Amino acid sequence: MRLDHIALAVRDPRASLSFYRDIVEIDGPVREEEYGFVIETGDVSFTLFRGTRPSSAGDFHIGASLPDADAVRRRRGELLARGVVELEWVDEPGYVSTKVADPDDYTVELSWDEKRTDGRP
């Protein structure tokens, strides 16, 4: 079995689409549906549907990997300059990560891990 989609309940699908496309820079064709939007990212589709976020997301987060530590550091600076809320910052040998909040307070992690060779967090 393989993962083929992620779906998030969001207050405003258009605002969330803007956050993930323009701020996080998730690439792929976008399909508009009556319930929201679907971003086709390759093997995994990412759906933003109109709904109510669960009262607690627990340890759930969305992760995207970057090619190297400096790319994470640069991206972090860009996000902070745009006023994106940072939840956590880790910068240690072999691992660099920033976790930020999306418009519905879901956690989004952008990271680089030298242990990963397939480009995934």
Q: Are residues 76 and 119 in the same domain?
A: yes
Q: Provide CB contacts within 8 A for 25, sequence distance 6+.
A: none
The string of pLDDT tens digits covering residues 36-77 is 999 999 888 999 999 987 777 666 788 888 999 999 999 999
Domain end point (choices 15, 33, 51): 51
Q: Quick check: helix, strand or coil at residue 4?
A: coil
Same domain assignment for residues 64 and 121 = yes
Range of the domain at 25: 1-51
Give the pLDDT band of residue 121 (cuts 50, 70, 90).
Answer: very low
Number of structural domains the chain divides into: 2
Q: What is the model's pTM?
A: 0.81
Do residues 75 and 26 share a domain? no
83 and 113 share one domain: yes
121: which DSSP letter?
A: -
Q: Do 41 and 77 fall into the same domain?
A: no
Same domain (yes/no): 38, 92: no
Tell whether 45 and 76 lie within a shared domain.
no
Whether the CB-CB separation of 103 and 12 falls below 8 Å is answered with yes
Cα 89 to Cα 73: distance, rounded to the nearest angstrom? 10
- Listed residue (95, 96, 99, 102) closest to 73, CA to CA: 96
> What is the Cα gyration radius of the chain?
14
Mean pLDDT of 1-19: 89
What's the whole-number mean pLDDT along residues 8-24?
94
